[in-house]
Chains A and B, each alone.
Chain A
């Protein structure tokens, strides 16, 4: 059991949890993830580590309600605990000193990009975070982003704050107006966004890393459920990733594979809503 130390509801759909996990807190690096089972009957879901404090023996995660298990996580009360938290898993992000680094993040990826942006900045890079949200009210962790990046630019789908459009369009617009290209870019968020970012940066000739999010079970390379085609080769995202060269990732396949259990997920979510009495 991993006790929750702090819960912060970021949006109606998204919550931040700081949980006790001293071993993980001591060893984690930016870009790594954990596997969480909120209850002893839950499935195992991978979540990116957003922060960690060796001193407090805690790690932080941000979860958006998407399927049943993530909903159960988000609904876990502040004085509760998660049945299992294991990690840190995967390879750390590729942090090097290159000059200018642009990080594109959408949805809950805005939280997940925090440690990577911070590490790039600490490595001596000028870091720009292009953060996306559906609208102004769903912009999360604004202060935290400002604290870890040299520059933060927001894009909203409906134009209610900042740039009107998505982060990929924002990247293109920024480069066009400034005439300056980043030396490296990093993208984390929903698959369509990462695919668009990969296509755009490929055209622009910018080396880009994407942090992928396939279905996983054990997270230690044992099951192979998380396999992703990268540069024509089968790779296990849990142990060889989650970060890969965005230009090499087969996002179409990744997208199809993440939908493999869509039918069961929809049924489980419906049943979960019924159990909560959310259906009028």
Chain B
């Protein structure tokens, strides 16, 4: 059989999408996966560079070039295995990673044409594997090495668990909620990341011997000291995330109908408020305004639309300054979500029973860049206007969850963010941290890269300790 012919000039393949009018009726996954034909055509667009920049640009350094070449040869399972050397989460990352900011931005083909759709190919490998070989890959290994504790079950901890269990460490993940996944379960909606994908990739860790304990809040249910001294853990990784929502700090924010994006999304994503006769309800009126321009704002707006509300995203800067994934912005627009740029809320008004009825906003204009590097929104005096509204969702960012810091004063933090060195080690020996609790509101992939780096550092630290112990005996 002749080698398949490279064809970089073929148009970038577009994955199918459920039509907007259909998908806003429920929680169905919006983006579909490539067909085999599409995957082959797309993989053949890859230039097979000698010095693949995409691999360097990927925070996990997945061997992108090699996995794509395997797809060109029809070896999709081989592609999946290649990805698995670095990441057991291609189903998650193929859906939620901002590929346009990492691998795809470095793709050489992208200099002249559209970059290779690396994210869609990653997802294709994972979907293919799950469909045809999902059961076969159960590893059923039982590590026997030192015990390591993960605090939180979000992307940072999951990645650290993978790396450490591969290296024979006995990993236990402690999760405060009743379900696993951290922000991937309470924050990311199932129409972006179906739960069976999340659950199956977590199940893979279980098959590698990783233990999970839900309903444990480290700091409250058990202290770090107890983990070391009583439960025999030799290192701890803190991946507790950015679970402290910023408030709007305007009058009326405690009116009924005003939610933080965290609460709104948790009620729906985690507690299924979207379902008929939901045990945990959510109040959605006719008109929703979501405040903010990041992924949480898009997710909240898209759920609001799915629950039947006329939905507007109010953002104090312009379209170019939105921080959400390009695909989510596009999907939100397709679904009929309105965008109102250069506006910010100044007050919320309610009726006599405390239900939100109206909001007052202020027009903004763009000024000189601020600390975020984006043009600062500058209020235009006297430009106040009022609009009727039933639901306001504040998606204006999050700070690290302070639960553990409260009970562990010796853990040094700066503005709530746990301070770490280059090895992700905190001010406490053998305590490492990564993801949003260190970075503030960041991304899934950077959290995973922190997990990877911390796992490496934990491995090195414990091996060095063993060496020392051996040296001391000799």
B304 within 8 A of A: no
B residues within 8 A CB of A40? Answer: 178
* Chain B residues, Cβ within 8 Å of A44: 178, 271, 280
Q: Bound state CA distance, A9 and B176, in angstroms?
A: 30
Structural contact, B176 and A218, CB atoms closer than 8 A: yes
B residues 217-266 near A (Cβ < 8 Å) are: 217, 220-223, 243-245, 247, 253-254, 256, 259-260, 262-263, 266
A84 at the interface (CB under 8 A from B): yes
- Given the contacts A217-B280, A253-B354, A224 and B260 also touching, CB distance less than 8 Å: yes
Shortest CB distance A262–B (Å)? 10
Q: Distance (Å) between the CB of B195 and the closest chain A CB?
A: 14
Residues of A within 8 A of B243 (CB): 218, 220-222
Contact A88 B220 (CB under 8 A): yes
Q: How far is the CA of A83 from the CA of B179 in the complex (A)?
A: 12
Whether B221 and A257, one on each chain, are in contact in the complex, defined by CB atoms closer than 8 angstroms, is: no
Q: Is the interface of B mostly helix, strand, loop or mixed?
A: loop
Collect the chain A residues with CB atoms within 8 Å of residue B178's CB. Answer: 37, 40, 44, 83-84, 86
Number of interface residues of A (CB under 8 A): 39
Within 8 A of A (CB), among B170-218: 176-178, 186, 214-217
CB of B402 within 8 A of chain A?
Answer: yes
Q: Is the CB of B221 within 8 A of A253?
A: no
A271 at the interface (CB under 8 A from B): yes
Contact A84 B215 (CB under 8 A): yes
CB contact list, A133-160 vs B, under 8 A: none
* B401, A271: Cβ atoms closer than 8 Å: no
Contact A24 B354 (CB under 8 A): no
| Interface: B386 (CB within 8 A) | no
B239 → chain A, closest Cβ, in Å? Answer: 14
Residue of B nearest to A229 (CB): B254
Interface pair B217/A268, CB less than 8 Å apart: no
| B370 is an interface residue with CB less than 8 A from chain A | no
Closest A residue to B394 using CB positions: A224
| A–B Cβ pairs within 8 angstroms, 24 of them | A23-B216, A23-B221, A27-B223, A41-B279, A43-B271, A43-B280, A44-B178, A83-B178, A86-B221, A87-B221, A220-B176, A220-B243, A221-B401, A222-B243, A222-B244, A223-B260, A223-B267, A224-B260, A224-B262, A225-B259, A227-B254, A259-B256, A260-B283, A261-B283
Chain A contact residues, CB within 8 Å of chain B? 23-24, 27, 37, 40-44, 68-69, 83-89, 217-218, 220-225, 227, 229, 234, 239, 253, 256-257, 259-261, 264, 268, 271
Excluding A218-B176, A253-B354, 15 further A-B contacts by CB distance (< 8 Å) are A69-B279, A85-B215, A86-B221, A88-B220, A89-B220, A217-B266, A218-B266, A222-B245, A224-B245, A224-B247, A225-B260, A225-B263, A234-B247, A239-B406, A260-B256
